[in-house]
């Protein structure tokens, strides 16, 4: 600030992650967006939440304080699925734990209120986004109200917040304190304002009081919220908390085209702040990666991407991706390998939805289940052009795709799949069958029957390329509706293939997802009929053992996942 001659900040951002100036880190992206718009921005990373002075080191911001728990929900960062404290925090320098509080959005927002009385507080990031309505908290094993109630924040930004944050700064700078009506935001009205408001055009969600009386309404809440998660036909949502209303505006339209390219052209330093003596583990794995797309059309019930980034896809221009890789290749730390060209799903680069009127009227949460929508446009040419272009750049020796791919889309793009297997697999390719029993797959919104055929094609293409390569299959244990009987379908497949997985994904009920609604209510999302749910540690361990009876052992052709759903 002194070097720039700043007497005060316009915006202060508070994050639960260590500060890494890379577009994969939310605080860095929002900071660069505001900076590019001409605002003076400061960032406090992992403040001491027990000391209000830890936020006051750069003075009082003129416009607002932006708060994020970080790239993950703080409870996911702090605890395992067994509700044990984690030994490593991937988003802290040196992996040190204890740098962020539980429910960090609430804690940081309350701290900001104390530090800067009268300054608006705005929540954002994954934690706030997925807790914008009343939700179930797995680690506390109870329902919680909207995060707006406990945090006392003035506004919540959900999803990708670049457009919303510019509008917030613009309004506050012009003296307009009313933050109503901004797409992709939620706010909590006072009792008087709630009573006077006209909600006749809104969709009324089951209230906090109703949910406490009947937890089965969580199923209704989830389905209605999912159905309105469209920037084109979604309606305003209202959920009463006592006499106060949480008002959720429809999602913001996805950033696409030149506007998306511009975000990744900001002058990111692509490194952790020099104050850190140790590496940030979560950054080490992606520092040489490039994000090429946003959004996920899958609508899987266990995943929050559709409720956060949305189902409508955005892809960067090939020229924009090549420019970023040229810049990356020019850095001293680059060793010739682009670790990933990806996003939520790597092979959906160049695919389109939301481009025809039928898409814009659609309330379905998935474009790919139970089958690929006829309006979903799959195009392999942009992906081929990108892969071949990056591979040909000076200084680039290897280009890998690590984000994982949709098998149902891959089999419809044979030229792209051949290119991928021949040139862009680092020995292991991530795929996510998740399960093999049709009833469980239906509850996941995952297609049945794709994995064995894809496995055979992958092996044939690898042999044709003269390479020894393996798939890294992700399977989920203890999913709602899954017992040992359903798990046996996966177990028998692994035995036939002589695979011993080193790790499996033990289902975590994340806030606001459809799978969590099934876990809590014990009811099928579609039929509303009772389903079995593995809740205790013994049941969960039994299902895990069916997938991973000998941790550390590897059979012929086995490929072990490098991580879990955590």
Shared domain for 409 and 503, answered yes or no, is no
Shared domain for 316 and 447, answered yes or no, is no
Buried/exposed code over 351-378 (b: 16+ C-beta within 10 A; e: otherwise): bbbbeeeebeebeebbbbbeebbeebeb
Q: Which residue has the tokens 């934690």?
A: 127
Shared domain for 83 and 148, answered yes or no, is yes
Taking residue 207's Cβ as centre, other Cβ atoms within 10 Å add up to 19
Last residue of a domain, one of 424, 439, 474: 424
Global pTM reads 0.94
454 vs 347: CA distance, rounded Å: 14
Last residue of a domain, one of 391, 407, 424: 424
Shared domain for 128 and 244, answered yes or no, is yes
Shared domain for 526 and 478, answered yes or no, is yes
Shared domain for 396 and 366, answered yes or no, is yes
Q: Which alpha helices (DSSP H) does 245-401 contain, by range?
A: 257-263, 281-284, 305-308, 318-329, 357-360, 381-391
Burial class (CB within 10 angstroms; exposed 0-12, middle 13-18, buried 19+) of 415: exposed
3-state secondary structure of 505: strand
Local confidence pLDDT in tens for the 566 residues of the chain: 999 999 999 999 999 999 999 999 999 999 999 999 999 999 999 999 999 999 999 999 999 999 999 999 999 999 999 999 999 999 999 999 999 999 999 999 999 999 999 999 999 999 999 999 999 999 999 999 999 999 999 999 999 999 999 999 999 999 988 999 999 999 999 999 999 999 999 999 999 999 999 999 999 999 999 999 999 999 999 999 999 999 999 999 999 999 999 999 999 999 999 999 999 999 999 999 999 999 999 999 999 988 999 999 999 999 999 999 999 999 999 999 999 999 999 999 999 999 999 999 999 999 999 999 999 999 999 999 999 999 999 999 999 999 889 999 999 999 999 999 999 999 999 898 999 999 999 999 999 888 988 999 999 999 999 999 999 889 999 999 999 999 999 999 999 988 888 678 899 999 999 999 999 999 999 999 999 999 999 999 999 999 887 655 444 334 433 333 33
Report CA-CA distances (Å) from 173 to 62, 71, 109, 176, 222.
Answer: 8, 28, 21, 7, 36
Q: Are 250 and 236 a contacting pair, CB within 8 Å?
A: yes
Residue 259 covered by a domain: no
Residue 2 covered by a domain: no
Reported as a single tens digit per residue, the pLDDT across 336-374 is 999 999 999 999 999 999 999 999 999 999 999 999 999
Q: How many domains does the chain have?
A: 3
Q: Are 402 and 289 a contacting pair, CB within 8 Å?
A: yes
Strand order in the sheet with 64-68: 41-45, 11-15, 64-68, 121-124, 155-157, 185-188, 244-248, 237-241, 203-204
Q: What is the CATH number of the domain that holds 534?
A: 3.30.750.200
Reported as a single tens digit per residue, the pLDDT across 439-448 is 999 999 999 8
Share of the chain above pLDDT 70, in %: 97
Shared domain for 518 and 400, answered yes or no, is no
Burial class (CB within 10 angstroms; exposed 0-12, middle 13-18, buried 19+) of 144: middle
- At 104, give phi and psi (nearest 5°): -60, -35
341 vs 319: CA distance, rounded Å: 14
Q: How many CA atoms lie within 13 A of 79 on its CB side?
A: 17
Domain that holds residue 210: 11-248
Q: What is the CATH number of the domain that holds 353?
A: 3.30.750.210
Residue 145 covered by a domain: yes
């Amino acid at each position: 600030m002194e070097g720039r001659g700043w007497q005060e900040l316009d915006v202060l951002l508070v994050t639960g992650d260590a500060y890494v100036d890379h577009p994969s880190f939310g605080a860095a992206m929002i900071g660069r967006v505001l900076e590019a718009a001409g605002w003076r921005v400061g960032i406090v990373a992992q403040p001491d939440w027990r000391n209000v002075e830890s936020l006051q080191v750069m003075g009082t911001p003129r416009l607002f304080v932006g708060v994020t728990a970080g790239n993950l929900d703080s409870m996911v960062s702090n605890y395992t699925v067994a509700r044990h404290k984690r030994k490593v925090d991937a988003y802290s320098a040196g992996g040190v734990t204890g740098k962020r509080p539980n429910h960090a959005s609430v804690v940081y927002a309350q701290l900001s209120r104390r530090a800067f009385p009268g300054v608006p507080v705005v929540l954002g990031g994954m934690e706030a986004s997925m807790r914008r309505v009343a939700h179930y908290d797995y680690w506390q094993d109870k329902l919680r109200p909207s995060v707006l109630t406990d945090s006392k924040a003035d506004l919540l930004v959900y999803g990708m917040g670049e457009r919303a944050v510019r509008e917030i700064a613009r309004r506050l700078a012009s003296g307009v304190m009313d933050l109503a009506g901004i797409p992709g935001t939620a706010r909590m009205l006072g009792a008087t304002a709630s009573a006077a408001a006209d909600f006749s055009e809104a969709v009324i969600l089951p209230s906090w009081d109703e949910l406490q009386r009947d937890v089965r309404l969580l199923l209704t809440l989830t389905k209605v919220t999912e159905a309105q998660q469209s920037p084109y036909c979604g309606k305003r949502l209202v959920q009463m908390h006592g006499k106060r209303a949480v008002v959720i505006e429809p999602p913001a339209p996805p950033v696409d085209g030149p506007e998306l390219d511009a975000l990744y052209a900001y002058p990111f330093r692509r490194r952790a702040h020099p104050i850190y003596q140790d590496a940030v583990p979560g950054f080490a794995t992606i520092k040489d990666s490039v994000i090429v797309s946003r959004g996920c059309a899958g609508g899987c019930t266990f995943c929050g991407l559709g409720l956060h980034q949305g189902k409508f896809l955005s892809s960067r221009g090939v020229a924009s991706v090549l420019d970023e890789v040229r810049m990356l290749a020019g850095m001293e730390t680059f060793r010739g390998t682009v670790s990933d060209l990806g996003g939520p799903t790597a092979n959906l680069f160049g695919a389109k939805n939301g481009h025809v009127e039928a898409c814009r009227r659609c309330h379905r949460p998935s474009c790919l289940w139970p089958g690929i929508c006829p309006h979903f446009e799959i195009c392999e040419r942009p992906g081929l052009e990108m892969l071949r272009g990056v591979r040909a750049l000076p200084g680039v020796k290897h280009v890998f795709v690590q984000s994982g791919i949709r098998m149902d889309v891959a089999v419809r793009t044979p030229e792209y799949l051949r290119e991928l297997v021949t040139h862009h697999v680092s020995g292991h390719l991530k795929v996510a069958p998740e399960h093999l029993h049709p009833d469980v797959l239906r509850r996941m919104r995952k297609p049945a029957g794709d994995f064995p055929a894809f496995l055979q094609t992958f092996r044939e293409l690898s042999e044709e390329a003269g390479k020894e390569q393996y798939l890294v299959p992700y399977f989920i244990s203890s999913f709602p509706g899954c017992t040992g009987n359903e798990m046996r379908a996966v177990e028998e497949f692994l035995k036939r293939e002589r695979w011993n997985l080193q790790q499996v994904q033990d289902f975590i009920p994340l806030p606001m997802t459809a799978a969590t609604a099934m876990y809590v209510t014990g009811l099928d999302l579609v039929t509303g009929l009772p389903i079995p749910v593995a809740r205790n540690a013994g049941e969960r361990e039994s299902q895990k053992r069916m997938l991973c009876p000998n941790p550390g052992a590897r059979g012929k052709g086995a490929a072990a996942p490098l991580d879990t759903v955590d």
